[in-house]
Amino acid sequence: MRFHLIDRIEEWEPEKFIVAHKLTSRAEDYWPAEKPVMPPGLVLETVCQAATWLLMLGSDFRKRAALLSVDAAVYTADVVPGDVLDVEASITSITGEAAVIDGTVLVGGATVLTASGIMCALLDAGTLEDPEETRRMARELCGTEEG
Amino acid sequence: MIIDRIVDVESGEYAVALVNVPNTLAVFDTHFPRFPVLPGVLLLDGMGAVARLVARQPLRRQQSIHGARFRHYVRPGDQIRITVHATEVAADAFACRAVAEVTGRKVATVRRLRFELEELR
Q: For residue range B2-48, what is the model confidence (pLDDT) as tens digits?
A: 899 999 999 999 999 999 999 999 999 999 999 999 999 999 999 99
Supply the residues of B annotated as catalytic: 31
Residues listed for chain B: 121
- CB pair distance less than 8 Å for A68 and B69: yes
Taking CA–CA distances from B45, the nearest residue in chain A reads A41
Q: Domain range holding B110?
A: 5-117
- Is A3 within a domain? no
- CB pair distance less than 8 Å for B65 and A72: yes
For the ranges A56-60, A73-77, A84-88, B117-121, the lowest mean pLDDT is seen at B117-121
Q: How confident is the model at residue A145 (pLDDT cuts 50, 70, 90)?
A: low
C-alpha B28: how far from chain center: 19
pLDDT of residue A40: 97
User: Which residue in A89, A22, A110, A30 sits closest to B27, CA to CA?
Assistant: A30
Q: Is A85 exposed, middle or buried (0-12, 13-18, 19+ CB in 10 A)?
A: buried
| Domain CATH for B21 | 3.10.129.10
- Is A68 within a domain? yes
| Inter-residue contact A17 to A54 (CB < 8 Å) | yes
Please report the sign of the dihedral spanned by the C-alpha atoms of residue A101, residue A107, residue A108, residue A110.
Answer: negative
Q: How confident is the model at residue A147 (pLDDT cuts 50, 70, 90)?
A: very low
Please list every residue in chain A whose beta carbon sits closer than 8 Å to the beta carbon of residue B35. 127-128
Q: Domain range holding A133?
A: 8-141
Task: State the Cα angle at A87 between B38 and B52, rounded to 5°.
Answer: 50
**Chain B (53-92) residues lying within 8 Å, Cβ to Cβ, of chain A:** 61-70
- Is A135 within a domain? yes
